[in-house]
Chain A
Amino acid sequence: MSEPALLFENVGYAYEETPREAVSDINIRIEAGEWVGVTGPTNAGKSTLCLLAMGLAPHFFGGRLRGNVTVLGTESRGIKVIERSTDVGLLFQNPFTQISGARERVDEEVAFGPECHGVPQAEIEQRVEEAMRVVGISALAKRHPLDLSGGQLQRLALAGLLAMRPKVLLLDEPTSQLDPAGTAAIFEVLSGLHESGVTIVMVEHRLETLCELCPRVVAMVTGRILADGTPQDVFNSEVVQERVGMPVYTRLARSVGLPAPWPVRLSESAKAFGTPIA
């Protein structure tokens, strides 16, 4: 059996000076190339999961870690976040605070990460051009980062991560501060990355989006995993529907009395309601 991309074994974590654990008894195995969506109500521990995978918990935050978090074969206790950054990236929610703030041009900003890694200049230029192209900001290359809109900035931040060619990409509600156009652009990029084999773990509140994009969903509640499986399995479970919610299609199908299993995606619901889809 090949080595998983991410492996959480009996993981529990509590932040500094906080008696209650933010996450407990986490057991997840994610294979290379999977696209996993993580969802749940507030304080479910979703962001903490990302921080654990990146190593920011416990290295940046201190706190108490139980169990083992192993990413790409290396246990997270033994590797610094900056060392991890060669293969793993984390995109935060806020587009404005995650850019370096030390570069005056978009292309220089994208180059920041590779520069920190000591990549030779010629290769940096190649990676920057490639990353900007993938996220669609090549036209903005010479602009000042602060002249960009929120959506453009988030794509810039993503390009900055892609320039390091990560094998694993973590995203913590990447589009919650963006408008619909910005949101669509990001998800388009992610779909492309998924096709090229990047392992993606994405925290997302919008259940319709989650079910549409992610072949696998992990639902969390108060720091524990409630369900882990396909969107159909996860959102057909009564417990999940009650404690996490359900996509609008599922709710609709339920409320009109359709029998289980209920649809979780647009394409499925069209079928369930008996309408031919285009």
Chain B
Amino acid sequence: MGILNAFKVRMNTLAIVLIPVCIAIDWAGHAIASTLKLPLFLDSIGTVLGGLLAGPWVGGIAGLITNFISSGTVDPIAAPYSVISLAIGIAAGIAGYYGWHKTWPGRVALYILIVLVASIGSTPLNIGLYQGQSGLPFGDALYAGMVKGGWPTWLAAYIDEASGDIPDKLITVVVAILIFFGLPNRYRALFSVWRRPADEKAPAPAPSV
């Protein structure tokens, strides 16, 4: 099946070295947002970029480890969400394989995909672990209002979570795509030489490890 081809990449040295760099970009993205006091997490830019550049393994592992490390050093409350970061990286990798980031409809689709993965994935965790709340004041206020107003808790929890994900993932995807196309051509080519997208010509002998 086509989608499994997105995973058929050889994890050569270049791919392995890219992962820590993407992790660092995740952290930097969040740190700069904090310094500028922007009301967004922006901690998945590296994850998404890694997926677009080098596929679901790189994106997924980067997301997972970013979350592991931050859980162990600054925010253990985020620990259960490692699996969501993994899923976001994988989703970005699959979208990257199909080249969604190269067309305008595709970019919108990529954004919607990431928002859905993040919000639909996080909501059950919020419900099971944190009484449906996302921990963000604005979203939690929405949650309170909705539950009080008689809405089902799962829906209130979803709206709570999505209210944070919608703006956050929008900027994340925009920045990741801007960076992707801001890279010199040969770097993009370098990382994709060992992938085999269906719509590009057959690649020259891939670098072996």
Q: Which residue of A lies closest to B20 (CB)?
A: A101
C-alpha gap A62/B191 in the complex (Å): 12
How far is the CB of A31 from the nearest CB of chain B, in Å? Answer: 30
Segment among A53-61, A68-76, A128-136, A267-275 that sits at the interface with chain B: A53-61
How far is the CB of A77 from the nearest CB of chain B, in Å? Answer: 10
Q: Is the CB of B204 within 8 A of A63?
A: yes
Within 8 A of B (CB), among A44-102: 58-64, 80, 82, 101
How far is the CB of A113 from the nearest CB of chain B, in Å? Answer: 14
Q: Is the CB of B204 within 8 A of A62?
A: yes
What count of chain B residues pass the 8 Å CB interface test? 12
How far is the CB of B195 from the nearest CB of chain A, in Å? Answer: 13
**Interface flags, A134-172, vs B, CB<8A=1, else 0:** 000000000000000000000000000000000000000
How far is the CB of B63 from the nearest CB of chain A, in Å? Answer: 20
Q: Is the CB of A82 within 8 A of B209?
A: yes
Q: Is the CB of A16 within 8 A of B20?
A: no
Q: Is the CB of A58 within 8 A of B20?
A: no
A60 interface neighbour in B20, B189, B207, Cβ under 8 Å: B207
Q: Which residue of A lies closest to B14 (CB)?
A: A60
Q: Which residue of B lies closest to A100 (CB)?
A: B17
C-alpha gap A63/B20 in the complex (Å): 27
Q: Is the CB of B209 within 8 A of A62?
A: no
How far is the CB of A19 from the nearest CB of chain B, in Å? Answer: 13
Question: Dominant SS at the A interface?
Answer: loop
Q: Is the CB of B206 within 8 A of A62?
A: yes
**Interface flags, B33-76, vs A, CB<8A=1, else 0:** 00000000000000000000000000000000000000000000
**Quick check: is A242 within 8 A (CB to CB) of the other chain?**
no
B-chain residues with CB within 8 Å of residue A61 when the two chains form the complex: 207
**Interface flags, B88-118, vs A, CB<8A=1, else 0:** 0000000000000000000000000000000
Within 8 A of A (CB), among B138-186: none
C-alpha gap A80/B205 in the complex (Å): 14
A-chain residues with CB within 8 Å of residue B14 when the two chains form the complex: 60
B207 interface neighbour in A17, A62, A64, Cβ under 8 Å: A62
B-chain residues with CB within 8 Å of residue A17 when the two chains form the complex: 189, 204
C-alpha gap A62/B190 in the complex (Å): 10
B193 interface neighbour in A62, A64, A82, Cβ under 8 Å: A62
B-chain residues with CB within 8 Å of residue A64 when the two chains form the complex: 204
Q: Is the CB of A62 within 8 A of B20?
A: no
B-chain residues with CB within 8 Å of residue A16 when the two chains form the complex: 189, 193, 204
Q: A17-B204, A62-B203 known; 16 other A-B pairs, CB under 8 Å?
A: A16-B189, A16-B193, A17-B189, A59-B208, A60-B13, A60-B14, A60-B207, A61-B207, A62-B193, A62-B204, A62-B205, A62-B206, A62-B207, A63-B204, A64-B204, A80-B209
- 19 CB contacts below 8 A, A to B, read A16-B189, A16-B193, A17-B189, A17-B204, A59-B207, A59-B208, A60-B13, A60-B14, A60-B207, A62-B193, A62-B203, A62-B204, A62-B205, A62-B206, A63-B204, A64-B204, A80-B208, A82-B209, A101-B20
B-side residues, CB < 8 A to A, are 13-14, 20, 189, 193, 203-209
